[in-house]
Structure 1
Amino acid sequence: MPDEKGTVTKMARKPLYKTTETEMIRRIESGDWPIGMRLPNEFGLAAEFGVSQGTMRRALITLEGMGLLDRKPGRGTRVADPAAKPAPPVATPPARLLDGAGQPPAFTLHRARASTRGATPEEADLFGAARLSTLERTLRRDGIRAALDEITLPEALIPALPEDAAIDLADLLAAAGLAPAALTESLSATITSMTDSVALSCDRYTALLVLTRTAHDAEGRAIARQTLRMIGDGLTYGA
């Protein structure tokens, strides 16, 4: 569209997932999708709207967070009653990783790199997506490089992860308008590779704690994963 000086300004294209969300909201508000109506599964809806499964999944998560849809494992997706009392939000699991003072360790950003790439077979099985957005970061604790962080999620959910995104996975997803139904985590151990030891400026074969956090939608499917590999000095993990 030309401005007063005759300069042509390009109109920003509305993201496909937003277009999908808008049409789904219109159908609900107009009564085309009445309260209690059971919707087709994710694959069927994606085909109906002509979008990818990842795009449809993001739209479903958003509308569920708005209280417009009710999604339960084994029962499918139904149009929710807006007058019904909304279910309380799922709380993030209490902090189990603690420092010597009994507080969650405070990490700060040292270096970050965001990119997109094809999913590995294991990641494709986990996310049901062929392409992922990733964020790889080196983190500091008490001024020392102490952790390597990697976030992975379907590109359709967040096309580009900001390098200064929140370190906490729940906060990162909330900033993108995504509200997971559940967050799970597990702990394992490993040792540094040569690349890890250089990135963390530590000795080769230094012991690392590996904390894996996974965000799930209401049907139990993974929508994001965080892998945090940390030098374990002064850290504890418990119930």
Structure 2
Amino acid sequence: MARVPLYQQAETELLRRITSGEWPAGMRIGNEFELAEEFGVSQGTMRRALISVEAKGHLNRKPGRGTVVAEPEPAMPSAPPDLRRLFLPDATPLPLEPFRARLDLRDPVDAEREFFSGRVQALSRTLKSGGERIALEVILIDAGLVPAMDEDQPVEFLPLLHALDLPTATLEDRLHAEVTSMGDSVALACDRHTGLLCLTRIARDSAAKVLAVQILRMTEPASYRTLPA
């Protein structure tokens, strides 16, 4: 069996003392000379271990203060389980795939101002299901949180938020009905005044700030229900 390098052994012991609370946050630990002597390793070995533990966020090494155990970072809120789904009439999940996409950096308009006051990244997509154009989607994201993104994003809302590192704590869903405008009917290749099922999903962080909004308008008859937890 391969022997564990000394710096890794020292790193493991440093982490044990920190995570166990033996070295609480804010405690100033010995310098690398003192720790090297205590751990029975060379100064270079201890320096390497300290650099590694610092890079993992467990130590702060500051001139004049020495090495201090760092405050633990608050845990990122995990997104709620996405139990709400769209289904086809035969009770199978509604599959969606991107057909066309356009990304704009702009100010919110009309009803979007309920959610955002500043600039937003607006990802507009036409979605297909079974080879047919079935839905128009707009995803709005606070441009201050995601100053740059691209059009190639996951179709599912929560995976998209995760890919953009947006710490979603709650999701709110709103449903209503509309009919297509002339522009909508052209984009969806359907008759004018076709009925639309409209789903608005609002993602908020743990402080209830709106991070992103998905507006999905679908022509295909679909049911919307909650799955069992």
User: TM-score when scaled to structure 2?
Assistant: 0.63
> What RMSD, in angstroms, separates the aligned Cα atoms of the two structures?
2.9
Match of 1:186 among 174, 190, 195: 174
1:236 aligns with 2:219: no
Q: Distance in 2 between matches of 1:207 and 1:164?
A: 29
What is residue 217 of structure 1 aligned with on the other side? 205
After the TM superposition, which segments of 4 or more aligned residues of structure 1 sit over 6 Å from their partners?
none
Gaps of 5+ in 2: 1-24, 27-57, 59-70
What is residue 96 of structure 1 aligned with on the other side? 85
What is residue 108 of structure 2 aligned with on the other side? 119
The equivalences for 1:1-239 within 5 A come to 31=26, 82=72, 89-120=78-109, 122-127=111-116, 129-233=117-221, 235-239=222-226
Q: Distance in 2 between matches of 1:173 and 1:83?
A: 21
Indicate if the aligned counterparts of 1:114 and 1:160 stay in contact, CA closer than 8 A: no
User: TM-score when scaled to structure 1?
Assistant: 0.60
Q: Distance in 2 between matches of 1:124 and 1:100?
A: 34
Q: Distance in 2 between matches of 1:89 and 1:130?
A: 26
Q: Distance in 2 between matches of 1:222 and 1:174?
A: 15
Shift of 1:103: 3.2
User: SS at 2:115's partner residue?
Assistant: helix
1:97-126 residue CA offsets vs partner (Å, 9 max, x unmatched): 212342331111110000111123653442
Indicate if the aligned counterparts of 2:125 and 2:136 stay in contact, CA closer than 8 A: yes
Indicate if the aligned counterparts of 2:76 and 2:167 stay in contact, CA closer than 8 A: no
Q: Distance in 1 between matches of 2:158 and 2:73?
A: 27
Indicate if the aligned counterparts of 1:92 and 1:170 stay in contact, CA closer than 8 A: no
Q: Distance in 2 between matches of 1:192 and 1:175?
A: 31
Indicate if the aligned counterparts of 1:116 and 1:160 stay in contact, CA closer than 8 A: no
Shift of 1:232: 3.0
Q: Distance in 1 between matches of 2:182 and 2:206?
A: 40
Indicate if the aligned counterparts of 1:117 and 1:132 stay in contact, CA closer than 8 A: yes
Aligned residues: 162
Q: Distance in 1 between matches of 2:193 and 2:113?
A: 30
Indicate if the aligned counterparts of 2:82 and 2:158 stay in contact, CA closer than 8 A: no
